A and B are shown apart, each in its own frame.
Chain A
Amino acid sequence: MTRIPVRKTYKLWIGGAFVRSESGRSDLVGEVNLPRASRKDVRDAMAAARRASGPWAARTAYNRGQILYRAAEAVESRRAQLTAVLDGGADADAELDAAIDVLVHYAGWTDKLAPVLGGINPVAAPFLSFTLPEPTGVVGVIAPDEPSLLGLVAEVAPALAAGNAVVAILSETRPHAGLDLAEALGVSDLPGGVINLLSGRRRELALALGGHRDLNAIVDASGDHELGTELDRLAAETIKRASHHPGAVSYEQATDDALERLTAVTELKTAWHPVGA
């Protein structure tokens, strides 16, 4: 008797749980049904991200670095699965290589950011004054359509490395690999809610995310100028940090401007402590 294969139901990843869209909507993409997230799913993801952001930021940089490295390990061990959903072939293989290496690159940034961006300020007064980077909080990511996995990883890895929680809107045309990535991240000791992945109609979700008043920063790699302009306008309502760049198509593009990617989702805090007296 032929064995009946067990098919996978694709789900959103919110708050560390695989969930269907609360709207019950899904889209048939290729041969599988993919959840079409709603604005309410965006709000749920935002709430989960906010709950997770403080404890994630409070982890030691070493711990966050190990968890991101663990994520790279988990993706490497699933490369056959991920390569297959990226349509196999040499391009998919190269994309996997780059995505994994990008995760490793940013895993190493967690404990470098403070010495590179911060330091002691030699103030002309009797104080120990120092400036240190801190995560901005919750970062919204709009991933490009292509490359669907590397383009996503290149945006979320810096945000996570800097200590933020993330709500990401996946590639609209090929969200499969992004949803599969949740399975790797889910076994990497990333606390639930630190990263939330939503598939669906980009415009609908991006505007709900960009207009959310509890969001601190928006990183837009959609390559859609009109959408980017609308996101800028929404950002202005609560003075969100907004940055735009084309989706990365190589390891170099995802890492050459690492410091800009990291500073776009980072605050600097200057503390003054008295010396003497």
Chain B
Amino acid sequence: MTVEPRQSTVWNYAPAPEATDHLRLRDRYGLFIDGAFREPAEGRHEPTINPATEEPIAEIAWAGPADVARALEVARSAQPRWAALPDRERGKYLFRIARLIQERARELAVCETLDGGKPLRESRDVDVPLAAAHFFHYAGWADKLRYGVAAREVAPLGVVAQIVPWNFPLLMAAWKLAPALACGNTAILKPAETTPLTALLLAEICQEAELPPGVVAILPGDGQVGATLVRSPGLDKVAFTGSTAVGRDIQGALAGRGVELTLELGGKSANIVFEDAALDQAVEGIVNGIFFNQGHVCCAGSRLLVQESVMDEVIAKLWARMARLRVGDPLDKNTDVGAINSAEQLARIEALVAAGEAEGAVRRSLACDLPEHGYWFPPTLFTDVAPAHRIAVEEIFGPVVSVLSFRTQAEAIQKANNSRYGLAAGIWTDKGAKAFEVASALRAGVVWQNTYNHFDPTAAFGGYKESGFGREGGPAGLRPYLRVVRSP
């Protein structure tokens, strides 16, 4: 492993931490059921931890089986009334939520960063604005549903269970809840074990918006809560974003039950740099593709495919650019790479990186002064990676990029598609016709040309192959929450 010292040309920035004194956090949060925060039946509370300091932020109620059953009962009884509201009125509640997210944006961004370890710059500029935009987009769909699915008449599915991951806690909650509610379903949201905080703030927002009780329930807890939820009777749909392993378990658990399912799972997305690309721009895109949110991104550009003729140049530029990344306090507005979300995830990253070294790939990790406490992993680059190496095949979900080379366009496509995943891909070239040709040949749900990690509520997002099925965003995101009413 090469560890290079920070270069002397790196600018030193004075710390610019975001204030936290405006937060109105409670010491304890209950389960959000039937429009109010309630004590869990078994009384269990667990602290949620700031991964940058390992300090507890608040005590969070964890749902048990009795709470899951209660939430399902409430959601079932609330659903007909919610669906019977005039469509435009249902939409207005969602518009209200969008506005309230905007009004509380600063608080939400800081909480997201505290709870999950992501740089404040990202919470503030990406997660929270996109969450508001998502509610705003689907609010407008509520009274136009049949135009969205090209059907004569549509009806909600009923009660939906939604399980979201820890990498974009508020944004994923928005991706799930907004279309489900717009379509007239009631929803039970299970936030991730390590990042329940912003979902609970969203529960407060639902109260402020005077959303009818029972339309949304929020049940924090660990994977066991999710497993109980998807195995419970009385569900019409499950929507899950997370690992392929858990997705597989959920799909198996739903076998034969006729419960609708959408899965947004893992990836090992290829970011392809052709020799005719604007290389400096491509390097920015590579950095954004893999170090955005510490690489805790399902569509992260974790397999970098570089055309052989520009390999040395790209690696040199990339390493020089990486040396300027600022790793550290997520609340600091200058930070590029924040804390790893949990000790568990850090261990997973370390194990895969060790496997990469053991299999013979060449590792370069940035030398950086990391805080004494918290979970950290330095931005890391692997070269001399073979397609069969674990670091070229398995999702690392951390700030680690594996670089492979190719000679021809056909080889690039073949290598990019050589994965059981198919979530996203990037193409860097200045030739338009080539970009369109490669984009159409890639077996991936999202393809970015000369950009990466761009999201929009109007644009469908979701994977091919073992990256899952179903789409979120745009009219395609309505279909999984509606059934078409047949002509008699």
Contact = CB atoms under 8 A, between A and B. Distances in A.
B483 to A, nearest CB: 9
Contacts of A230: 255
B251 interface: yes
Interface in A192-241: 216, 225-226, 228-230, 232-233, 235-239, 241
Contacts of A131: 459-460, 474, 476
Nearest to B469: A241
Interface stretch (B96-104, B228-236, B438-446): B438-446
A121 B459 contact: yes
Given A129-B456, A228-B256, A244-B258, 5 more contacts: A267-B445, A270-B445, A270-B447, A271-B448, A271-B449
B191 interface: no
Interface residues of A, number: 40
Contact of B255 (A124, A127, A236): A236
B355 interface: no
A87 interface: no
A239 B247 contact: yes
3 nearest A-B residue pairs (beta carbon): A229-B256, A232-B255, A236-B251
A259 interface: yes
A125 B454 contact: yes
Interface of B: 133, 149-151, 244, 247-249, 251-252, 254-256, 258, 263, 265, 420, 432, 435-436, 439, 444-451, 454, 456, 458-462, 464-469, 471, 473-476, 479, 484, 486-487
Interface string A51-72: 0000000000000000000000
Contacts of B435: 273
A257 B153 CA distance: 12
B465 to A, nearest CB: 7
Nearest to B436: A273
B370 to A, nearest CB: 33
Most chain A CB within 10 A, of B254, B460, B468, B484, is at B460
A116 B475 CA distance: 11
Contacts of B265: 239
Interface of A: 116-117, 119, 121-125, 127, 129, 131, 136, 216, 225-226, 228-230, 232-233, 235-239, 241, 244, 256-257, 259-260, 263, 267-274
A123 B458 contact: yes
Nearest to B449: A273
A236 B252 contact: yes
28 contacts: A119-B475, A121-B456, A123-B456, A123-B458, A123-B459, A129-B458, A131-B459, A216-B465, A228-B256, A232-B251, A235-B251, A236-B248, A238-B420, A239-B248, A239-B265, A239-B465, A241-B469, A257-B486, A259-B149, A267-B469, A268-B445, A269-B439, A269-B446, A271-B447, A272-B448, A272-B449, A272-B451, A274-B451
Contacts of B474: 121, 131
Contacts of A257: 484, 486
Given A238-B466, A257-B484, A127 B451 contact: yes
A229 B258 CA distance: 9
B462 A268 contact: yes
B257 to A, nearest CB: 8
Contact of A260 (B432, B450, B484): B484
Contact of A229 (B255, B446, B487): B255
Contacts of A226: 256
Nearest to A132: B440
B459 A124 contact: no
A125 B456 CA distance: 9
A258 to B, nearest CB: 10
A134 B486 CA distance: 26
A165 to B, nearest CB: 14
Contacts of A259: 149-151, 484
Contacts of A122: 458
A220 to B, nearest CB: 11
Nearest to A239: B466
Contact of A272 (B263, B454, B468): B454
B392 to A, nearest CB: 20
B246 to A, nearest CB: 11
B231 to A, nearest CB: 14
B180 to A, nearest CB: 18
Contacts of A229: 255-256
A267 B468 CA distance: 10
Given A229-B255, A236-B252, A256 B486 contact: yes
A239 B244 contact: yes
A235 B253 CA distance: 12
A136 B133 CA distance: 30
Contacts of B439: 269, 271, 273
Nearest to A133: B476
Nearest to A269: B445
Contacts of B254: 232
Nearest to A226: B256
A148 to B, nearest CB: 24
